[in-house]
């Protein structure tokens, strides 16, 4: 009389040597969790991360230590509230507001150009452009960021400003040769790749199942792109926008050449004004003797610029965490 084999089967028993056919099984090969080169790569990556932290710490340390003698002679209240910036005169005033006004005005103009154009381009590249054409046009757009900023500055002075002057004369208004409007417009063209490229990457990372669900509900491609893909990629778009803002705030040569170097407290884009970076360039070219209060003011201005950029980055981190979508 024969007995039927047991229906219970333990697959781990075969590996332990007590199951069916254990004699025919071969031991599993040893799995190496790391290679000798992995340790080298890990060490290099650690060194890069530590170097970044030390460089940032060094920059903050230099700004604080070099700005301290300036704030010993100039009160923080005057620096933050005064609307006069005249370090070259005998009756010197060190109010940062004129430089901040020029920086903010040119940045707003640049974003008014780069943000809508960059978002439209990124949406078109992500949802409508043929794949081969997208692979061709995207590197071409990114070349705009590779053009030297000096070229952009002279382009603003020699081409954009005369063109704007003709337009303003046609409506009975005047425009200075050096003005914040032309500088901001050209700077907006320069930062378009920062928004379009990074936003397109964020939109392309949105899962296809969301698009298919939108199509299944009867939406067309435009509705899907605007009402589904765009909100789903909002965290990446916000990060790209903050990066573009930081780039615009820290731009030097375009505003130094095209916006002028007159520190006037104004938000009128038709007038010339100096930005924080333009003033730093002006002083470092030798307008102020080393060790004077006027020379030390560039570190105070740099500290203000660093604080503004840090604030924008913190806003970007908050927006990424607030609107981040995990799929």
Dump pLDDT digits (tens) for 50-89: 998 999 899 889 889 888 988 888 888 888 888 888 887 7
37-61 CB burial, b ≥16 within 10 A, e <16: eeeeeeeeeeeeeeeeeeeeeeeee
79-112 burial code (b ≥16 CB/10 A, e <16): beebebbebeeeebbbbbbbbbbbbebbbbbbbe
More confident residue, 179 or 29: 179
Using pLDDT thresholds of 50, 70 and 90, give the confidence band for residue 17: very low
Average pLDDT value for residue range 186-215: 90
Confidence of residue 103 (pLDDT cuts 50, 70, 90): very high
Highest-confidence segment of 12-26, 95-109, 133-147: 95-109
Arithmetic mean of pLDDT over the chain: 83
Q: What local confidence, expressed as pLDDT, does residue 27 receive?
A: 58
Share of the chain above pLDDT 90, in %: 23
pLDDT for 1 beyond 70: no
Answer positive or negative: Cα dihedral of 224, 227, 231, 237. positive
Nearest by Cα to 274 from 261, 292, 265: 261
DSSP designation for 31: P
Q: Give the DSSP H or E segment for 208.
A: helix 208-216
Kindly state the average pLDDT of the residues 151-177. 90
């Amino acid at each position: 009389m024969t007995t039927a084999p047991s229906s219970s089967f333990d697959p781990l028993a075969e590996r332990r040597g007590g199951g069916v056919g254990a004699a025919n099984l071969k031991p599993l090969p040893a799995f190496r969790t790391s290679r000798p080169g992995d340790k080298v790569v890990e060490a290099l990556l650690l060194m890069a991360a530590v170097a970044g932290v030390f460089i940032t710490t060094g920059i903050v340390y230099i700004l604080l230590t070099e700005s301290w003698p300036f704030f010993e002679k100039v009160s923080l209240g005057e620096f933050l509230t005064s609307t006069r910036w005249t370090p070259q005169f005998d009756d010197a005033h060190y109010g940062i507001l004129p430089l901040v006004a020029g920086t903010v005005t040119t940045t707003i103009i640049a974003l008014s150009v780069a943000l809508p154009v960059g978002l439209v381009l990124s949406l078109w590249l992500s949802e409508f452009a043929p794949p081969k054409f997208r692979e061709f046009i995207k590197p071409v757009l990114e070349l705009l960021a590779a053009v030297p900023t000096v070229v952009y500055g002279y382009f603003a002075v020699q081409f954009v400003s005369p063109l704007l002057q003709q337009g303003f004369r046609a409506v009975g208004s005047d425009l200075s040769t050096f003005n914040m409007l032309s500088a901001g417009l050209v700077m907006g063209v320069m930062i378009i790749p920062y928004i379009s490229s990074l936003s397109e990457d964020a939109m392309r990372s949105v899962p296809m199942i969301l698009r298919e669900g939108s199509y299944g509900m009867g939406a067309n491609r435009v509705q899907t792109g605007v009402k589904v893909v765009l909100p789903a990629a909002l965290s990446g778009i916000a990060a790209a926008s903050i990066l573009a803002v930081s780039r615009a705030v820290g731009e030097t040569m375009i505003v130094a050449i095209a916006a002028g170097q007159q520190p006037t407290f104004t938000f009128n884009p038709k007038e010339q004004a100096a930005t924080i970076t333009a003033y730093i360039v002006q002083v470092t070219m030798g307008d102020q003797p080393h060790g004077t209060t006027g020379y030390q003011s560039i570190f105070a201005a740099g500290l203000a610029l660093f604080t503004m950029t840090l604030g924008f980055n913190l806003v970007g981190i908050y927006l990424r965490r607030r609107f981040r979508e995990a799929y």
